[in-house]
């Protein structure tokens, strides 16, 4: 058990301390949604920061979305 805990992140350890008891499925789902929303917002904020630093625009995103990059190194299925 100690070895398993040594491999855990600080977030995992904190969640174990907070939620040492079983939660209802509904509460578990709510906690997962809160965590997912939190990390999605952080990722979005970081992307906004990168876009601003690089001076990217919606036009750039549209160009990337419509690009048809094909790499000869890509495996074929």
Contact 31, 23 (CB under 8 A): yes
Question: In the chain, what are the domain boundaries?
Answer: 23-67
Rg, Å, the chain Cα set:
20
Scanning the structure block, which residue is given the tokens 């789902």? 29
Task: Report the run of H or E that residue 60 belongs to, with start and end.
Answer: helix 58-66
Q: pLDDT tens-digit profile of 5-17?
A: 778 999 888 888 8
- In the chain, helix, strand, coil percent, each to 5? 70, 0, 30
Question: Residue 6 belongs to what H/E stretch?
Answer: helix 2-6
Per-residue pLDDT tens over the stretch 17-64: 887 888 899 988 998 999 999 999 999 999 999 999 999 998 988 988
């Amino acid at each position: 058990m100690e070895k398993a805990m040594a491999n855990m992140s600080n977030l995992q350890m904190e969640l174990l301390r907070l939620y040492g008891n079983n939660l209802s499925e509904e509460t578990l789902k709510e906690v997962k949604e809160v965590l997912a929303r939190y990390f999605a917002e952080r990722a979005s904020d970081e992307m906004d920061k990168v876009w601003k630093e690089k001076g990217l625009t919606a036009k750039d995103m549209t160009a990337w979305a419509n690009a048809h990059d094909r790499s000869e190194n890509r495996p074929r299925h």
